């Protein structure tokens, strides 16, 4: 039995995690969870899982409302509530399916409190991958990635030495068939139409700008201790090859399978084990052809910004993340154009004075600074 806490259970990864838990009720005990503003799902989950003792929501008013309805459950709210949940509820594995920087401190808190982590929140590794790795060593805890590319790479690397290159596949996002001129006036609605995955809004925009792939390069760098210049990107339209490893002898291993996040989620929940799946399959003979395209770094400058942030190090990756997040939400609110997202990130990175070997507080400060800079740039319309 694995006792679980799921952070962000109302989201795309969170609800698919719940689906896996439901399919393996003898293996998992759900002890606590968090939602943000979508509190509608709380009732159903509490009725189904009598093992839950603690629930966190984003807003105080929702907490007050819910604790009147469920007096036997402990409720808390906000960023501190997430940390309380991790500290107070005994569990074996924390699933971090929060989106954005809000997931960073819960990641640190889980590891500091000796909890193993199944991590979808890639922003945690972008912001503080070095600190996370130090904590994993110090506290002897384990981190199981949920991102499909990294689960694919872990499967290909298992038992194999002498990897020459890691090759992250990328769908190219919603605008993959447009050139840069055609990106000038694209809309939020078009940006949210991902060709192969149904995900939360923020990561869908990150896919359209390809910042998501930049983040995944940083993620792979930290997870597999692999040099950035040996991590390549390959455009692959169908999203069925989830990533590849090229070995020194010239051969590749690829992880091929359905585009269904429940497969990598299961792999993480079962601590890097392959589990029988009864929900998705990929009949290759019916599938036909796989397509590949060369990745053009000029078409997608965000990948270059991510590589630059890692090369500079210190607080720069946190600034990359904070500036990206603030700019993406401004785009979603229709305050800026799509191409302004990357302009803003570049500009904010230029202005940042880095702190090397940052503490957790330095990273929190860098994130805050980056967001303020983005808001200032938008206000001055100085893009
Ligand atoms: P969603 O937007 O679908 O879900 C995010 C979750 O975080 C929701 O439960 C949301 O609550 C909660 N949340 C957001 N902001 C706050 C906050 N300030 N306080 C508390 N809770 C908050 O995102 P996804 O599931 O798509 O993505 C989650 C993470 O997984 C991201 O880091 C993403 O990059 C990564 N990932 C996602 C994939 C996917 O297929 N979706 C694939 C690979 C990685 P609510 O909605 O209730 O407000
Ligand atoms: Mg991914």
Q: How far is the CA of 227 from the centre of ligand 2 (A)?
A: 19
Q: Which neighbouring-strand residues pair with 240? A: none
Inter-residue contact 348 to 319 (CB < 8 Å): yes
Q: How far is the CA of 47 from the centre of ligand 2 (A)?
A: 32
Residue 313's SS3 state is: coil
Q: Which ligand is nearest to the CA of 6?
A: 1
133 φ, ψ (degrees, to nearest 5): -65, -40
Q: Which neighbouring-strand residues pair with 116? A: 93
Give the closest residue to 123 by CA, choosing from 107, 112, 141: 107
Give the span between the Cα atoms of 266 and 272, in whole angstroms.
8
> What is the best residue among 66, 200, 243, 262 to mutate for testing ligand 1's pocket, by most ligand atoms within 8 Å of CB?
200
Q: How far is the CA of 56 from the centre of ligand 1 (A)?
A: 15
238 φ, ψ (degrees, to nearest 5): -85, -10
Q: How far is the CA of 10 from the centre of ligand 1 (A)?
A: 8
Give the closest residue to 242 by CA, choosing from 270, 220, 269: 220
| For ligand 1, atom 31: residue with the closest CA | 99
Q: Which ligand is nearest to the CA of 57?
A: 1
**Ordered strands of the 28-34 beta sheet:** 74-77, 54-57, 28-34, 2-7, 93-96, 116-119, 143-145
User: What radius of gyration, in Å, describes the C-alpha atoms of the chain?
Assistant: 20
Give the span between the Cα atoms of 267 and 262, in whole angstroms.
8
Give the span between the Cα atoms of 25 and 7, in whole angstroms.
18
Inter-residue contact 29 to 278 (CB < 8 Å): no
Residue 195's pLDDT is 83
Name the DSSP class of 102.
G
376 φ, ψ (degrees, to nearest 5): -65, -45
Residues with a beta carbon under 5 angstroms from ion ligand 2: 147-149
Residue 197's pLDDT is 83
Give the span between the Cα atoms of 23 and 202, in whole angstroms.
28
DSSP letter for each residue of 221-248: HHHHT--GGGEEEEEETTS-EEEEEEET
Q: Which ligand is nearest to the CA of 243?
A: 2
97: left (phi over 0), alpha (psi -120 to 50) or beta: alpha
What sign does the CA torsion over 120, 242, 263, 163 have?
negative
Q: Which ligand is nearest to the CA of 97?
A: 1
| For ligand 1, atom 11: residue with the closest CA | 36
E strand or H helix at 48, and its extent? helix 41-48
| For ligand 1, atom 34: residue with the closest CA | 203
Give the span between the Cα atoms of 298 and 102, in whole angstroms.
31
Report the pocket of ligand 1 as residue ranges, CB < 6 Å: 8, 10-14, 34-38, 58, 97-99, 102, 120-123, 147, 197, 199-200, 203, 261
E strand or H helix at 252, and its extent? strand 252-256
From first to last of its 383 residues, the chain has per-residue pLDDT tens of 999 999 999 999 999 999 999 999 999 999 999 999 999 999 999 999 999 999 999 999 999 999 999 999 999 999 999 999 999 999 999 999 999 999 999 999 999 999 999 999 999 999 999 999 999 999 999 999 999 999 999 999 998 889 999 999 999 999 999 999 999 999 999 999 988 888 999 999 999 999 999 999 999 999 999 999 999 999 999 999 999 999 999 999 999 999 999 999 999 999 999 999 999 999 998 888 999 999 999 999 999 999 999 999 999 999 999 999 999 999 999 999 999 999 999 999 999 999 999 999 999 999 999 999 999 999 998 56
| For ligand 1, atom 18: residue with the closest CA | 102
> What is the best residue among 98, 194, 325 to mutate for testing ligand 1's pocket, by most ligand atoms within 8 Å of CB?
98
**Ordered strands of the 241-247 beta sheet:** 252-256, 241-247, 163-170, 231-236, 292-293
Buried residues in 179-189 as b, exposed as e (16+ CB within 10 A)? eeeebeebeee
- The pTM of the full predicted model, rounded to 2 decimals, is 0.98
Give the span between the Cα atoms of 110 and 366, in whole angstroms.
22
* 148 CA: nearest ligand 1 atom: 43
Q: How far is the CA of 275 from the centre of ligand 1 (A)?
A: 24
Q: How far is the CA of 201 from the centre of ligand 1 (A)?
A: 9
Give the closest residue to 223 by CA, choosing from 339, 143, 118, 317: 143
| For ligand 1, atom 36: residue with the closest CA | 120
Residue 380's SS3 state is: helix
* 212 CA: nearest ligand 1 atom: 34
């Amino acid at each position: 039995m694995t006792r679980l806490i799921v952070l962000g259970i109302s989201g795309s990864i969170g609800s698919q995690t719940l689906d896996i838990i439901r399919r393996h009720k003898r293996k998992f005990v759900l002890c606590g969870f968090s939602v943000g503003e979508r509190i509608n799902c709380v009732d159903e989950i509490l009725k189904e899982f009598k093992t839950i003792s603690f629930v966190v929501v984003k807003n105080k008013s929702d907490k007050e409302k819910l604790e009147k309805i469920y007096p036997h459950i402990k409720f808390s709210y906000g960023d501190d509530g997430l940390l309380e949940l991790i500290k107070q509820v005994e569990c074996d594995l924390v699933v971090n399916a929060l989106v954005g920087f809000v997931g960073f401190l819960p990641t640190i808190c889980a590891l500091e409190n000796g909890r193993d982590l199944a991590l979808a929140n890639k922003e945690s590794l972008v912001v503080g991958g070095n600190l996370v790795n130090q904590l994993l060593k110090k506290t002897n805890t384990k981190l199981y990635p949920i991102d499909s590319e990294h689960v694919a790479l872990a499967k290909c690397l298992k038992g194999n030495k002498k990897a020459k290159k890691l090759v992250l596949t990328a769908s190219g996002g919603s605008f993959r068939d447009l050139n840069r001129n055609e990106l000038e006036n694209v809309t939020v609605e078009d940006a949210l139409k991902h060709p192969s995955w149904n995900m939360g809004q923020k990561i869908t925009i990150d896919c359209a700008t390809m910042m998501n792939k930049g983040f995944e390069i940083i993620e792979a760098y930290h997870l597999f201790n692999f040099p950035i210049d040996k991590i390549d990107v390959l455009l692959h339209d169908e999203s069925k090859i989830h990533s590849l490893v090229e070995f020194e002898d010239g051969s590749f291993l690829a992880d091929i399978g359905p585009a269904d996040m429940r497969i990598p989620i299961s792999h993480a929940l079962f601590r890097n084990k392959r589990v029988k799946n009864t929900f998705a399959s990929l009949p290759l003979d019916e599938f036909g052809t796989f397509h590949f395209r060369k990745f053009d770094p000029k078409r997608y400058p965000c990948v270059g910004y991510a590589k630059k942030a890692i090369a500079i190090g210190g607080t720069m990756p946190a600034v990359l993340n904070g500036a990206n997040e603030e700019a993406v939400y401004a785009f979603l609110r229709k305050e800026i154009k799509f191409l302004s997202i990357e302009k803003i990130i570049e500009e904010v990175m230029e202005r940042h004075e880095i702190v090397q070997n940052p503490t957790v507080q330095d990273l929190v400060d860098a994130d805050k600074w980056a967001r303020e800079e983005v808001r200032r740039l938008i206000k001055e319309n100085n893009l």
